[in-house]
Amino acid sequence: MATKSVAIYLLYFIKIGLVFIRDLYVYKKIKEMNFIIKLFLNAVAVVIASYALSGIHVDGFGYAVAIAFVLAILNVSLKPILVLFTLPATILTLGIFLLFINAAIIKVAAWLIGSPGFVVDGWGWAILFSLLLSILNSVLEKVVKPAIAPKESDTKVYDKDGNRIA
C-alpha cells in the first residue's frame, strides 16, 4: 500500500513539474515577444524624437532599431555602473544628475553607431533627446500595454490537490 501511495505522489509531482515547465516556456516566449515589442516601440520613439529635435540626426528606421538595441544594451550594462559611481552627485542634485548620465549614454550610443547613422550635435541635444525619448516611451507603452499584457484568463491558479481554480 505504501509503494502505491509513493507512486501516486511521484506521478503527481511529475505532473506539477511538467505543468511548471510548460508555463515557464510560455512565460519565456511572452518575455521575448515583449522585448521585441518594446524594442520596436523604442525605435519608433527614436524616430519621432529625431524629427522633433533638429540636433538629432537618424538616417532611417533601420538605424533607429539599432539605436534602440544599443541603448537597451548600454542601459543594462553601463548605466548601473555610472549611477553607482556618481551616486554622491546624484544625491546632492536630488536626482538631476541622472539627466547627464542619460545624455552620456546617448552620446556613447552615437559614438558606437557612428556618424552616418546617428549624430547628436551636443550635450544639450542629448539631454533633450533623453527627456523626449523617456516621455515618448512612456506614452507608447501606455498605449500598447493593454494589447500585449496577458489576459486575466491566462492566469492559472491551482489548489493543493492540483485542481485548477481560476
**20 or 99, higher pLDDT:** 99
Does the residue 146 lie in any domain?
A: yes
Single-letter amino acid code for the residue at 9: Y
Does the residue 121 lie in any domain?
A: yes
Count Cβ atoms below 10 Å from residue 154 Cβ, excluding itself.
10
Does the residue 157 lie in any domain?
A: no
Does the residue 164 lie in any domain?
A: no
% pLDDT > 70, the chain: 72
Does the residue 166 lie in any domain?
A: no
Q: What is the DSSP string of 26-75?
A: HHHHHHHHHHHHHHHHHHHHHHHHHHH-TTEEE--HHHHHHHHHHHHHHH
Does the residue 158 lie in any domain?
A: no
- Name the range with the highest mean pLDDT among 24-28, 59-63, 128-132, 146-150: 128-132
pLDDT of res. 163: 75
**31 or 38, higher pLDDT:** 38
> What's the domain count of the chain?
1
Per-residue pLDDT averaged across 43-64, rounded? 91
Per-residue pLDDT averaged across 108-136, rounded? 92
Rounded to whole angstroms, how far apart are CA atoms 24 and 128? 40
Predicted model pTM: 0.70
Domain containing 60 equals: 2-152
Does the residue 159 lie in any domain?
A: no
Q: What confidence tens digit (pLDDT) does each residue in 74-116 have?
A: 999 999 999 999 999 999 999 999 999 999 999 999 999 988 8
Contact 86, 27 (CB under 8 A): no
Strands (E) in 79-146, as ranges, are 118-120
Contact 113, 70 (CB under 8 A): yes
Does the residue 94 lie in any domain?
A: yes
Taking alpha carbons only, the member of 67, 165, 57 closest to residue 120 is 57
